[in-house]
Chains A and B, each alone.
Chain A
Amino acid sequence: MTSSDKDANFLRNKLNKERVFIEEFRGETRVILDRQMLLEACQLLRDDLKYDLLAALTAVDDWPNDPRFRVVYQFFCTSTCQSIGLEVRLYDEDPSVSSIEAVFPNANWHEREVYDMFGIAFDNHSDLRRIIMPHDWEGHPLRKDYPLGDEEVQFSFNFDEIDRRKRYASD
């Protein structure tokens, strides 16, 4: 995939040579950026490098390591059939990154899903609220410190104990 290597180097030269890293794994190129550079990088990808499809936008939680979150973007160019990935690493204290909805409109729901599942806030998003979980849910399910959630069976011997702890729909 030499063409996406060229594109990665183009991004690196345009942004900031010291703070942009390029990784390759199994023939795929990934560019690791600081979060301030993200919006500009996406604009370069769309306008100069002609990547027209935001194929995927997701996040990975590396708890308990820091930087804790990795927000991963995958772009695809339909005319040259090249794909390139971007990655932004976020710390636990302030997991927020600017929204790329202005550049790629279909990032809207993907960013809502990442917000819902990980708690990563996207600045300048038009409508950032939960999308898959109910709107009053507490917690962010795909974080590593969120339990998988097997529900304890309420038998008669522990009925009262669980009743005291359990949050019912009326709460």
Chain B
Amino acid sequence: MQQPEMELTVDELRHLVSDRAIKGETMVLNLGPQHPSTHGVLRLLLELDGEKIINCVPDIGFLHTGIEKNMEAKSFEKALVMTDRMDYLNNLGNNLVYCLAIEKLVDLDVPSRAQVIRVILTELQRISSHLVFLGTHALDLAAMSVFLYCFREREMILDILEMCSGQRMMTSYFRPGGIWRDVPAEFEDAVKQFMGSFPDRIRQYEDLLSNNPLYIDRTKGIGVIPKEKALSWGITGPSLRASGVDFDARRATPYSGYEQYEFDVPLGSNGDVYDRYIVRIEEMYQSLKIIQQGLERLPEGPFRSSNRKFVPPPRSELGHSMEAVIHHFKLWTEGFPAPKGDVFVQVESPRGILGCYLVGDGGPKPYRVHFRTPSFASMQVLPFISRGHFVADLVAIISSLDPVLGDVDR
């Protein structure tokens, strides 16, 4: 079998740097994997002419944990636990895309109460992810006070998630067929309390940054993603909408009942770092709107599908129903079988289009599962939009693309 040569020599890597670097006119600097501004373990090879970037070559793979390979060895529901750990700021979103893929593959219904709760929690997760973006973005630009304010709000959201699922981050709360358990009685009050205090807080953060001449100086005109090229480069999500392209998976391919909610999709015009910041702030307001509608329309009913072939029966039934015991046994020892076939589902994560390609082969384990992660696609663009800028601008650009290295490397 033909296998390409593994050993790489300096000559083969020479194309990554320009001739000027070989001659010594420009400097090749390693922005190593351990760096406070690279949003995780991202390694960049920078070719610098003074402070100006001639080229930047991303080197990823430091957080690769073989999630896709590992999931092939586990049954569907057990593999769900691994999805939390990809984009670790959007755990419920990862769960959601995987559950939607399973539900499409095996044709499983989801009751409406579960759909609404999924929407509410996904939007809360979106807000918490954008808060981390805001905090770390400001921190990278040395506006350090914003960081802890954002994390203070995020604590309220993490408390809500802990109330529902027992876990702050790696919740695995969404399961195939619905959600793991019903939301507790305090859920609605906690969400309402959060929604009461939050708009004011976002306005305070906007006051700190949006009209701040120092911030505007550092972000306007930096890292422009041109509108015509953005989609062909694979950028999706807030970075794409900041360039003016109106594409949101919640609108284009609605899932989980998103077509019933009224919300605007904020768009930018220039596609620079400032616009990406503004779009994410606006998205937080829109998420609050969706959560409000979700709470209003939260119906009573079951929180998970009653199809016992895929969803385990409640413990109380095991005492008096033989079928329940058999279903429980089957699901716990083997898992549920999926038909032969493959599906692709895409959702809107806070970073862009998160897609799950799931292949079933008739057995209880996913034959192949691939996640099309938005950060992986967005990182490609980094060399193109950072050429000609200074290293300090590069830090602003990376944080504005909002990469999460768990998403990039999986």
Give residues in A with beta carbon < 8 Å to B.
25-26, 28, 30, 52-56, 58, 60-61, 72, 74, 76, 78, 81, 83, 85, 92-96, 104-106, 108-110, 113, 119, 121, 127-138, 141-142, 146, 148-149
Contact = CB atoms under 8 A, between A and B. Distances in A.
Contacts of A76: 252, 346
A72 B367 CA distance: 14
B64 A93 contact: no
Contact of B232 (A92, A105, A127, A137): A105
Most buried by A among B105, B232, B233: B232
Contacts of A128: 4
A106 B236 CA distance: 11
Nearest to A52: B231
A114 to B, nearest CB: 10
A78 B252 contact: yes
A56 B64 contact: no
Contacts of A106: 232-234, 377, 380
B341 interface: yes
Interface stretch (B158-166, B325-333, B353-361): B353-361
B15 A127 contact: yes
27 contacts: A26-B105, A26-B107, A30-B342, A55-B346, A56-B355, A61-B368, A72-B357, A76-B252, A76-B346, A78-B231, A78-B247, A81-B253, A94-B2, A95-B2, A104-B232, A105-B233, A105-B234, A106-B232, A110-B376, A110-B377, A119-B3, A121-B2, A121-B4, A127-B16, A132-B410, A134-B61, A148-B70
B322 interface: no
A74 B253 CA distance: 14
Given A53-B236, A83-B253, A109-B379, A132 B409 contact: yes
B6 interface: yes
B206 interface: no
Contacts of A149: 66
Interface string B334-360: 000000011110100000010101010
B344 A83 contact: yes
CB-CB nearest 8 A-B residue pairs: A106-B234, A132-B61, A56-B372, A58-B370, A25-B341, A81-B252, A78-B247, A60-B368
B253 A93 contact: no
Contacts of B232: 52, 104-106
Most buried by A among B7, B12, B357, B410: B357
Contacts of B252: 76, 78, 81
Contacts of B3: 119
Interface size class of B (residues with CB under 8 A): 35 or more
Interface string B8-28: 100010011000000000000
A55 B235 CA distance: 10
Contact of B69 (A78, A127, A141): A141
B289 interface: no
Given A25-B343, A74-B357, A141-B66, A53 B61 contact: no
Contacts of A95: 2
A109 B381 CA distance: 10
A91 B232 CA distance: 30
Nearest to B64: A132
B344 A53 contact: no
Given A53-B231, A74-B355, A78-B247, A109 B344 contact: no
Interface in B26-73: 60-61, 64, 66, 68-70, 73
Contacts of A130: 61
A76 B140 CA distance: 34
A110 B6 CA distance: 19
Contacts of B73: 148
A113 B379 CA distance: 13
B372 A109 contact: no
B234 A131 contact: no
A136 B367 contact: no
Given A132-B64, A137-B6, 5 more contacts: A58-B368, A81-B253, A105-B229, A121-B4, A135-B8
Most buried by A among B253, B344, B357, B410: B344
A85 B380 contact: no
B185 interface: no
Contacts of B387: none
A136 B377 contact: no
Contacts of B1: 92-93
B308 interface: no
A83 B252 CA distance: 11
B242 interface: no
Nearest to A109: B380
B378 to A, nearest CB: 9
B389 interface: no
A71 B370 CA distance: 12
B344 A133 contact: no
A133 B343 CA distance: 27
B245 interface: yes
A60 B377 contact: no
